[in-house]
C-alpha cells in the first residue's frame, strides 16, 4: 500500500495478505488474483523474508489460486532465487513496464533502470519459464525516428515467452 502521495510505502503484514487470499480463494468465481503494485518484488529491506513467509503460508494453508504480479526489472534480478518458489505457489505471470530499450527514454521516464537491466530481467523470466507481459512506449515527443527503429529492433529479440500488449492482446513477439 502507498500513502495518498505515493511517496511512502506501508507493507501489509504477510499473514494479513495470506488471510485475504484465503478468503478470496474460497469463492469459486475468483479464478485469478492480480497484485497490481510493481513493488511486489520490492527492493525494500527484509522483503525476501516477507516473500518467503507468504509462500510458506500459501502452501501451509493450501491456498491454491493462480496469481499474477507487477514487477520492476531490479526486483526480478534481485529475487531470481525466489521465482521458482513463487511459481510453486501458483504465480503464473508477471507484468514489467519495460517502456523502452533506450537508456535516454528510461531516464526521461524516471524508470530508475537501464536497458541492460530490462533485458537481464526478461532473460531471467525466460530461464525460469515465467510468462511476462510488458508495457512498452514506442513513441514520445523526445524520440527520433532512428530511436523508434532501434527500439523495435530490440523488441524483436525479446525472449519468446514475453507477451506484448498490442492491438491483438497477448500476441507473442515473433509469432503471427
Rounded CA gap, 139 and 161, in Å?
24
Q: Give me the phi and psi of 95, to 5 degrees please.
A: -120, 130
Read off the pLDDT band of 11 (50, 70, 90): low
Does domain 14-172 fall under CATH 3.30.300.20? My reply is no
Instruction: Write down the pLDDT at residue 89.
Output: 92
Q: What is the pLDDT of residues 128-166, one digit of tens each?
A: 989 888 888 888 888 899 998 888 888 877 765 555 444
- Sequence spans of domains, the chain: 14-172
H helices of 8-156, in order, are: 14-25, 47-60, 73-78, 83-88, 103-108, 115-127, 145-156
Question: pLDDT tens for residues 79-136?
Answer: 999 999 999 999 999 999 899 999 999 999 999 999 999 999 999 998 998 988 888 8
How does residue 9 score in pLDDT terms, banded at 50, 70 and 90?
Answer: low
Residue 70: closest CA among 23, 116, 133, 123: 133
8 Å CB contact between 54 and 22: no
Among 26, 83, 13, smallest CA distance to 54 is for 13
More confident residue, 120 or 17: 120
Q: What is the pLDDT of residue 2?
A: 43
Of 66, 49, 41, whose CA–CA distance to 125 is shortest? 41
CB atoms closer than 10 angstroms to residue 91: 22
Residue 176 has a pLDDT of 41
pLDDT at res. 175: 44
Structure confidence by residue, pLDDT tens digits, 48-80 = 898 999 999 999 988 888 999 999 999 999 999
- The stretch 19-38 carries a mean pLDDT of 81
Residue 12, pLDDT score: 74
Identify the pLDDT of residue 166.
41
Amino acid at each position: 500500500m502507498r500513502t495518498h502521495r505515493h511517496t511512502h510505502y506501508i507493507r501489509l503484514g504477510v499473514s494479513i495478505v495470506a488471510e485475504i487470499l484465503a478468503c478470496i480463494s474460497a469463492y469459486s468465481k475468483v479464478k485469478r488474483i492480480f497484485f497490481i503494485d510493481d513493488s511486489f518484488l520490492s527492493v525494500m529491506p527484509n522483503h525476501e523474508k516477507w516473500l518467503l513467509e507468504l509462500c510458506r503460508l500459501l502452501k501451509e494453508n493450501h491456498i491454491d489460486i493462480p496469481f499474477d504480479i507487477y514487477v520492476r526489472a531490479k526486483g526480478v534480478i534481485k529475487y531470481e532465487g525466489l521465482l521458482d518458489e513463487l511459481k510453486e505457489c501458483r504465480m503464473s505471470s508477471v507484468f514489467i513496464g519495460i517502456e523502452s530499450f533506450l537508456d535516454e527514454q528510461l531516464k526521461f521516464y524516471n524508470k530508475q533502470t537501464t536497458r541492460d537491466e530490462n533485458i537481464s530481467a526478461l532473460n531471467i523470466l525466460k530461464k525460469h519459464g515465467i510468462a511476462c507481459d510488458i508495457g512498452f512506449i514506442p513513441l514520445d515527443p523526445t524520440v527520433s525516428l532512428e530511436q523508434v527503429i532501434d527500439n523495435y529492433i530490440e523488441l524483436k529479440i525479446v525472449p519468446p515467452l514475453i507477451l506484448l500488449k498490442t492491438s491483438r492482446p497477448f500476441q507473442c513477439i515473433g509469432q503471427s
